[in-house]
Amino acid sequence: MRKDCTDLFEVMGRRRSVRSYLPDPVGEEDLNRIIEAACSAPSAGNLQAYRIVVAKDPETRRRLADACWGQRFVAEAPVSLVFLAEPAVSARRYGTRGAELYSLQDATIACTFAMLAAHALGYGTCWVGAFNDEAVLRAVGAVGAGLRPVAVLTVGRPRASPRTTGRRPVEEIVTLDTLERPFPYSASDPRLRRPSM
Ligand SMILES: Cc1cc2nc3c(=O)[nH]c(=O)nc-3n(C[C@H](O)[C@H](O)[C@H](O)COP(=O)(O)O)c2cc1C
C-alpha cells in the first residue's frame, strides 16, 4: 500500500505541474479524500461559494481540453476537477465584494487544498487557468447556472518526472511594513527553495 506524504512542507516543496499522465485511474477513496480536502478549505463567511465538477467521462474530458484552448493533457488526465465560483451565494451576504472577490477566492483556495491533497496522495496535478469560460460551462453542462469557471485541476499518475521551475527572488516580492523597506529574508527550508529564489 502506498504511504501518504503527510509532511506539509515536503508536499509543497515536491509539487510540480504535471502535463503528461498515465491512464491509471484515480482511486475512489483517493478521489473522495481530495474532494474532502477541497471542501475543508476556508471560505468567506463559511459559505463555500463554489461548485466542483468531477470530470471523469472521456468525452467530457475531451471537451474540457478543447475548452482549455487544446491543452491535450487535460483529456489525458483520468480526472479533472472543475472549480466554479458561485457568485450569488456570496453576494447574498457580502454584495458586490462577495460576488466579485470572495466567491473567486473561495474556489481558488478549495482548488489549492485539492491540489496539495492530490500530491500528498502521490498524484500529479496541473492547475489550468487558460480556457474559454463559456466552453468550460458547456463542457460540464453548467450554462446558465450563474457560475464562473475559476480553475481546471488535472489529476493523475505522472507519466514522467516534471521539470522544476524557478521563482522570482524573494526580495523582489516581500517587504517589511511598507512596500519600500526590504524584508530581512534568509533561506530556511531547502525543500521549499526553487532556482533563483
Ligand atoms: C492561475 C494559474 C493558471 C495556470 N494556467 C495554466 C494553464 O492553462 N496551462 C498550464 O499548462 N499550466 C498552467 N498553470 C501552471 C503554471 O504554469 C505553473 O504553476 C508554473 O509554471 C510554476 O510551475 P510549477 O507548478 O511546476 O511549480 C497555471 C497556474 C496557475 C496558478
Tens of pLDDT, residue by residue over 45-94, are: 999 999 999 999 999 999 999 999 999 999 999 999 999 999 999 999 99
Ligand 1: which residue has its CA nearest to atom 9? 128
Verify that 73 and 20 share a domain, yes or no: yes
For residue 65, being part of any structural domain is answered with yes
* Reported confidence tier of residue 1, pLDDT bands at 50, 70, 90: very low
**Whose CA is closest to atom 27 on ligand 1?**
16
Mean pLDDT across the stretch 188-194?
95
Output the residue whose Cα is nearest ligand 1's atom 12: 128
Residues 170, 158 share a domain? no
Is the same domain home to 158 and 175? no
Range of the domain at 196: 165-197
20 lines ligand 1 (CB under 6 A): no
Give the chain's end-to-end CA distance (angstroms, integer): 36
Task: Establish whether residue 127 lines the binding site of ligand 1, counting it when its CB lies within 6 angstroms of any ligand atom.
Answer: yes
Task: State the Cα–Cα distance between residues 141 and 54, nearest whole angstrom.
Answer: 12
Nearest residue (CA) to ligand 1, atom 3 = 129
Return the ligand 1 atom nearest residue 16 CA.
Answer: 26
Residue 1 alpha carbon to ligand 1 centre in Å: 30
Number of the ligand 1 atom closest to the C-alpha atom of 19: 11
Whole-angstrom Cα distance, residue 197 to residue 182? 15
Can you tell me the distance from the alpha carbon of 154 to that of 21, in angstroms, rounded to the nearest whole number? 9
Average pLDDT, the chain: 97
Determine whether the shortest distance from the Cβ of 130 to ligand 1 is under 6 A. yes
What CA–CA distance (Å, rounded) separates 151 from 28? 22
Q: Answer whether residue 2 shows pLDDT above 80.
A: no
Same domain, 176 and 158: no
pLDDT at 3 over 80: no
Query: Which residues contact residue 163 at a Cβ distance below 8 angstroms, ignoring those fewer than 6 apart?
Result: 16
**Overall domain count for the chain:** 2
- 103-122: buried (b, 16+ CB within 10 Å) or exposed (e) per residue? bbbbbbbbbbbbbbbbbbbe
* 22/66 same-domain check: yes
Q: What is the mean pLDDT of residues 28-55?
A: 98
Cβ of 119 closer than 6 Å to ligand 1, yes or no, is no
> What percentage of residues in the chain have a pLDDT greater than 90?
96
Task: State whether the beta carbon of 19 lies less than 6 angstroms from ligand 1.
Answer: yes
The residue nearest atom 31 of ligand 1, judged by CA position, is 127
Judgement on whether residues 141 and 153 belong to the same structural domain of the protein = yes
Q: Are residues 73 and 40 in the same domain?
A: yes
